Amino acid sequence: MDQFVSSAGCEGKLLLLDCRSLDYREVSMGGENASSSDAPVLVITNSNVKHDLGDGEYPVRVRQCKEATDILTKMNPSIQSLRDATMKDVEAAAKSAGLEGVLLQRARHVVSENERTVKTADALEKGDWETVGKLMNASHTSMRDDYEVSCEEIDVLVNLAQTFGDGVFGSRLTGGGFGGCTVTLVKKDSAQQLIEYLKTQYEANTGTKCVCFETAAASGAKAIDL
């Protein structure tokens, strides 16, 4: 995904990427009102926890998702990956096909996250920031509890942002997990205050300094004629 957006990125737009077909569509924040001064901005916060993908936990997640998929496939042969399943499929497999424990958690996260991603794209285009924020918060909860790829420091940052008060719509872990960064959707006129708050409170809570910056979608890499 990083390589894709680095080449296909478009100024002022996010990308909704289908990782199976590699089809994508550009998503404007606010649609026709994308240039509105009311549009929020994104604040990225680096926890300064090294992004080592959990010392081998990444392949464990891959294996667990494959095992969960195998259970779902036996129930419904049309399900060839978790991407093909719905939450109703997951619930049915939990009731009658033996999908349980950590495999149920992993399947529930992946399937619900796919649904949240599509809903978020639609809400972004409508400028429905409240819904986007709720979906971001739900995403972090799912990554923390069902996929278990967050960590204490990231949870501190997310909680600080989510409880900041007026101006913040939502916050979540971004990237592969086990450290790294958070992304927060916030009103532009509250962004700098949020940044200072995160820096102060994160260090007070963890003893570690974080790095924050406001950002916006930009064009991807391209050839330049000199």
- Cα–Cα distance for residue pair 57/74, rounded to 1 Å: 26
Helix/strand/coil (H/E/C) assignment for every residue in 28-88: ECCHHHCCCCCCCEEEEEECCCCCCHHHHHHHHHHHHHHHHHHHHHHHCCCCCCHHHCCHH
Beta-bridge partner residues of 98? none
Name residue 167's amino acid: G
Q: Catalytic residue among 2, 55, 166, 225, which?
A: 2
Decide: residue 196, CB within 10 A, 0-12 exposed, 13-18 middle, 19+ buried: exposed
Assess whether 2 carries a catalytic annotation.
yes
Torsion from C-alpha of 134, 136, 137, 140, nearest 10 degrees: 160
- Nearest Cα neighbor of 42 from 203, 157, 182, 139 is 182
- Cα–Cα distance for residue pair 188/38, rounded to 1 Å: 8
Residues with a catalytic annotation lie at 2
